[in-house]
Structure 1
Amino acid sequence: MTTLLSVQDLRIGFGKKTITEVVKGVSFDLAAGEVLAIVGESGSGKSVTCSAVNRLIDFAGGHILSGKIDFQRRDGSRLDIAAATEDTMETIRGAEIGVIFQEPMTSLNPVLTIGEQVAEAFRLHHGLSGAAAMQAAQQALERVRIPDAARRLKNFPHQLSGGMLQRVMIAMTLACNPRLLIADEPTTALDVTTQAQVMALLAELGRESGMGMIFITHDIGLVAAIADKVMVMQNGQAVEFGPLDLILDAPQHPYTQHLLRAVPHFENGDAVRRDLDATAPVLLDVTDLTVRFPVAGGFLRPSPGAVHAVESVAFTLRRGETLGIVGESGSGKSTTARAILNLVTPVRGDVQGNADGAVQMVFQNPNASLNPRLTIAEILAEPVIAKNKRLTADDNARMTMLIARVGLPEDSLTRYPHQFSGGQRQRICIARALMLNPKVLVLDEAVSALDVSVQAKVLELLIDLQQEFGLAYLFVSHDMAVIERIAHRVAVMFAGQMVEFGDAAAVLSHPQHSYTQRLIAAVPSTHRRHQDFALNTTEIPSLVKPKGFEPAAAEWVSHGPDHKARKE
């Protein structure tokens, strides 16, 4: 096979007067049509290495200190990217080297519609204009399984979920048909079925065009499914490199062995917790929770109806219990969580137990939920001040106790968020949520952005805190292996409705609804090598319903003492 990319002894530094070397002599080759997975924890240098391949580090204060990046262009000529001019790089970025970033909100323009941004790729790289570019944009959104693609073209980024936004980014990148695709944690925010579809799309494009791909991820199961080669990075160095099977089956470096041990493996319900007290008091009782968002009409046109985001959701949550909510992006799981805290207003339904301060929330991205200008003490004081207007000596003592309890040093209170790692910042968010001594914590994808070893430690912390304080958790996640390890019961959501509910072991080991079965079948595993992801073209049902529409009452079928599924 033709060598598409050859990186030789690459060294990268940051700084002006004093250069700090962060990538130290990395080398690897990538053939056309081949997939290289780069794994490693935050700060290992994997993203910086890939940013050098299309010279994006130039805009972040980075410098290629030495080494060669030999790239075969579309016309067959070869170019040393390390020595290329910026004018040359402008002709390569997007057109020949595409990038999908982890956080789509930082990559999309908040004041332009989704349609305008996707259509731009077709205007710049395919010469389309006007209606033709917009039609191509709609087809691109449909290809990545965005429901109601025609309507979504008119949406702005803030109106879409994180998973939807990532699919938009993927649609934009694939529109250019690049020779090389760099995917930096592109499926972190995606549920397993959407992740499988994204991988199917990328694999399909790779087969059609011979596109090479560098895939940065911490999901070892996904690595097993797609990669041909694996490079493991630690502290700016490639500590192990080789064919997939050798790395997974016979890892030689201690760090690789550590990473593989830390990976949460999905075990079809065998790893669920067994410590639930079924007689514990109910702390949260949700009945008939329904959330709908009106769809705006046009000039002299009435509104066509409403988005039925959440439809008649009901459940109870006991002291010491974790209810895991799983489902695709856009299924309504995060909207359900937000409605419980009155962050969105339901059109009907009742939530008992969400008295002021009794329910607190931990969000997915600690970077976005911590004010960078406040010290940790000021951040922890925010919920207390919002409720009581003043701090007491007991509040200050609770701050010190919680910081120690989440495993951070006492001097953390005088420091700022940027002085902590991602895992430490999420611990700060957990401590803040506990300041008002709540009964229930709502955790919305609270560990999905963390490295696997950090993720495992945070999950252990959450379980310890739950047992110590008698907390109930509503745990929203797309990661079935994480749900299996923390949840006592599981609720599966699809298209705004709950389709299966019950004991975690029963639901995960014997799923009854066809959607739950598809979810579990799509979970990546280190045992499934070079998985052939089949592209699913099944249409996701539209959540937009006409004005006055009311769905039929759900019919449920019992499959055990604590296991039921919606009749299909």
Structure 2
Amino acid sequence: MTSLLSVSGLRVGFGRDPKQNEIVKGVSFDLDAGETLAIVGESGSGKSVTALSINRLVDFGGGRIIGGSITLKRADGSILDITKAEEPVLEKIRGSEIGMIFQEPMTSLNPVLTIGRQIEESFRLHRGLTGRQATAAAKDALDRVRIPDAARRLKYTPNQLSGGMLQRVMIAMALACNPRLLIADEPTTALDVTVQAQIMALLGELKRETDMGMIFITHDIGLVAGIADKVMVMQAGEAVEQGPLGDVLDQPKHPYTRHLLSAVPHFESGRAARSDFSREKSEAIVPALKVDGLTVRFKVAGSILTRSPGSVHAVENVGFDLMPGETLAIVGESGSGKSTTARAILGLVKPTRGSFSANNGAIVDGSDPSVQMVFQNPYASLNPRLRIDSILAEPVIAAGGRIDAETRAKMVALLKRVGLPENSLLRYPHEFSGGQRQRLCIARALMLNPSIVVLDEAVSALDVSVQAKVLELLVDLQHEYGLAYLFVSHDMAVVERIAHRIAVLYAGQIVEIGNAASILSNPRHSYTKRLISAVPSIERRNQHFELDTRQVPSLVRPPGFEPPPAEWQSCGPDHRARAEA
């Protein structure tokens, strides 16, 4: 019986002389229909290049297949050698027989076309649908990936959706034509655990219904344990270990596989929560940051003939205190208001109402040099045209300071503190790895001696081993400088290792807040329970994810709408949950 996909001795190179710049070095594997192969490894290991080679998209990025074969068993039973296929043939199988979910939705979607038009394109090309039929199919595709207000979102352009929502759009597009082979390149990196579980359930449902084969590229070993049948570990362009899921996870033979498994943060239901800070024992009386009644609403534009339907209540009456030396993690689904809360505190989004104070001083215009931010994507956070010394100088200049010998000495000291050499000042961002770039972003945030650092998904784009080192660095810096962290994240295993307290956001409102260990070990609100039950674990093998058809409520409210006051239940010392109807 011929495999659905057979890759033998695949070699891929880049540049004018691809043989001298070989990235993938003799990779081989077989994939049967209905089977899932997980490819794991750190950045630069060749995972994505291998995936792009399967449908020859690597040709458009300066790469060339210089050896080996890739054969696909088509729907009609014929065998196609993809390495020798002409472009017109490849255009027909891309999307219809081989679907692909890319890692970075912002660079994969056309920024000037609506979401609806981009999803409809797949139905027009491969199914021949037009007009209302294509629009209806596009809406159904968004409904399948749990995007609320799907009909309205079809008219949005990519910049109007959050990163997690955009990733769901990409998944909807890839699944539109029910491909026989799906290549998923880090498809859930930007998603919170509940939506991640739903995506896994959707993929599992499709596998059962259509006997679809899947290549799943990820760094999340817990997710691998839940979905994969076979695992292939890649390092420096080579497959260093591959085999059945249980053999690779339970009896890893290669040192690199053991290194990856040891670096993965395992969720332990609060047992691994930090205990190095106590509010009761803290001598600090004045909070580093106090947020009271923060509300952010965005007016929905009406058409020429109709009035505005109201406003999006993105954040509704959020309040909390953050003490010096403490980490408060804000967790919740994509679109729950996590990043909007952080951006409002930094003055990047104008709040509708509410107040902030840093170190007992009111933040009048939403900006304060004592509050700094580290963004999610270290590749987009640094200006590629500036040297590192100019990048570190930016916050000083923006605050009205001068670049003198003292400032340069501080740059050198901070670089050393984040584990980078002094000569980094004369280099450019492209000369650093992802983990090094995020260290540079942390150094830049510390240039103005802040008391509060907002970290918006600051480690989600990093490999697990790099992620562990950056988390360790953040804890060390917190102890050294007494920093208060506002840590926005969707990764509960990471939250467990960095947070002292947790605030759970759902539909723009805090539904549970308090001590991290208490919330993770004994969640009281139903949404918090859903979040924690959806966390993947290396112990859960071949997990059957249940498809949850519950919709996230729409945040669009009519003009003049005001939500009723919240009622809270005390669940123990420093642990409160919103009462549910």
Provide the residue aligned with 1:422 in structure 2: 434
Instruction: Note the C-alpha offset of 1:84.
Output: 1.4
Provide the residue aligned with 1:15 in structure 2: 15
Provide the residue aligned with 1:465 in structure 2: 477
Give CA-to-partner distance per residue, 1:389-413, whole Å, 9 cap, x none: 5312221111111111110111111
1:127-142 correspondence runs (5 A)? 127-142=128-143
Provide the residue aligned with 2:61 in structure 1: 60
Q: 1-side partners of 2:348 and 2:404: how far apart?
A: 28
Q: 1-side partners of 2:122 and 2:303: how far apart?
A: 27
| Residue of 480, 494, 498 corresponding to 2:492 | 480
Provide the residue aligned with 2:541 in structure 1: 529
Provide the residue aligned with 2:339 in structure 1: 334
| Residue of 509, 519, 523 corresponding to 2:521 | 509
Q: 2-side partners of 1:399 and 1:7: how far apart?
A: 49
Matched to 1:301, the amino acid is T
1:86-485 correspondence runs (5 A)? 86-278=87-279, 279=282, 280=284, 281-353=286-358, 354=363, 356-388=368-400, 390-485=402-497
Provide the residue aligned with 2:503 in structure 1: 491
Q: 2-side partners of 1:452 and 1:77: how far apart?
A: 41
Report the secondary structure of 2:379's partner residue: helix
Report the secondary structure of 2:289's partner residue: strand
Give CA-to-partner distance per residue, 1:399-457, whole Å, 9 cap, x none: 11111111011111100111110000110111111111111000000000100000000
Q: 2-side partners of 1:406 and 1:29: how far apart?
A: 43
Q: Which runs of 4+ in 1 moved over 6 A?
A: none
Judge conservation of contact 1:463–1:486 (CA < 8 Å) in 2: yes
Report the secondary structure of 1:367's partner residue: coil
Judge conservation of contact 1:229–1:243 (CA < 8 Å) in 2: yes
Instruction: Note the C-alpha offset of 1:2.
Output: 5.0
Residue correspondences, number = 568
Q: 2-side partners of 1:334 and 1:17: how far apart?
A: 44
Q: 2-side partners of 1:395 and 1:75: how far apart?
A: 68
Instruction: Note the C-alpha offset of 1:132.
Output: 1.3
Give CA-to-partner distance per residue, 1:491-538, whole Å, 9 cap, x none: 001010100000000000000000000000000000000000111001
Q: 1-side partners of 2:564 and 2:413: how far apart?
A: 50
Judge conservation of contact 2:27–2:239 (CA < 8 Å) in 1: yes
| Residue of 565, 568, 571 corresponding to 1:553 | 565
Instruction: Note the C-alpha offset of 1:369.
Output: 1.0
Judge conservation of contact 1:277–1:320 (CA < 8 Å) in 2: no
Matched to 2:535, the amino acid is V
Q: Which runs of 5+ in 2 are unaligned?
A: none
Q: 2-side partners of 1:382 and 1:424: how far apart?
A: 19
Matched to 1:29, the amino acid is D
CA RMSD, Structure 1 to Structure 2 (Å): 1.0
Judge conservation of contact 1:2–1:32 (CA < 8 Å) in 2: no
Give CA-to-partner distance per residue, 1:227-282, whole Å, 9 cap, x none: 00000000111000000011111101010001000000000000011111422241
Give CA-to-partner distance per residue, 1:39-67, whole Å, 9 cap, x none: 00001111111111011110111111110
Seen in structure 2, the aligned counterparts of structure 1 residues 49 and 164 have a Cα distance that, compared at 3 Å, is: same
Instruction: Note the C-alpha offset of 1:326.
Output: 0.5
Q: 1-side partners of 2:378 and 2:415: how far apart?
A: 16
Q: Which runs of 5+ in 1 are unaligned?
A: none
Provide the residue aligned with 1:48 in structure 2: 49
Q: 1-side partners of 2:225 and 2:394: how far apart?
A: 44
Report the secondary structure of 2:414's partner residue: helix
Q: 2-side partners of 1:369 and 1:134: how far apart?
A: 36
- Comparing 77-86 with 357-366, greater Cα deviation is found at 77-86
Judge conservation of contact 1:447–1:458 (CA < 8 Å) in 2: yes
Matched to 2:167, the amino acid is Q
Judge conservation of contact 1:104–1:165 (CA < 8 Å) in 2: yes
Q: 2-side partners of 1:224 and 1:144: how far apart?
A: 22
Q: 2-side partners of 1:292 and 1:218: how far apart?
A: 36
Q: 2-side partners of 1:20 and 1:300: how far apart?
A: 59
Instruction: Note the C-alpha offset of 1:95.
Output: 1.3
Matched to 2:23, the amino acid is V
Normalized against structure 2, the TM-score is what? 0.97
Q: 1-side partners of 2:129 and 2:228: how far apart?
A: 34
Q: 2-side partners of 1:170 and 1:2: how far apart?
A: 28
Report the secondary structure of 2:28's partner residue: strand
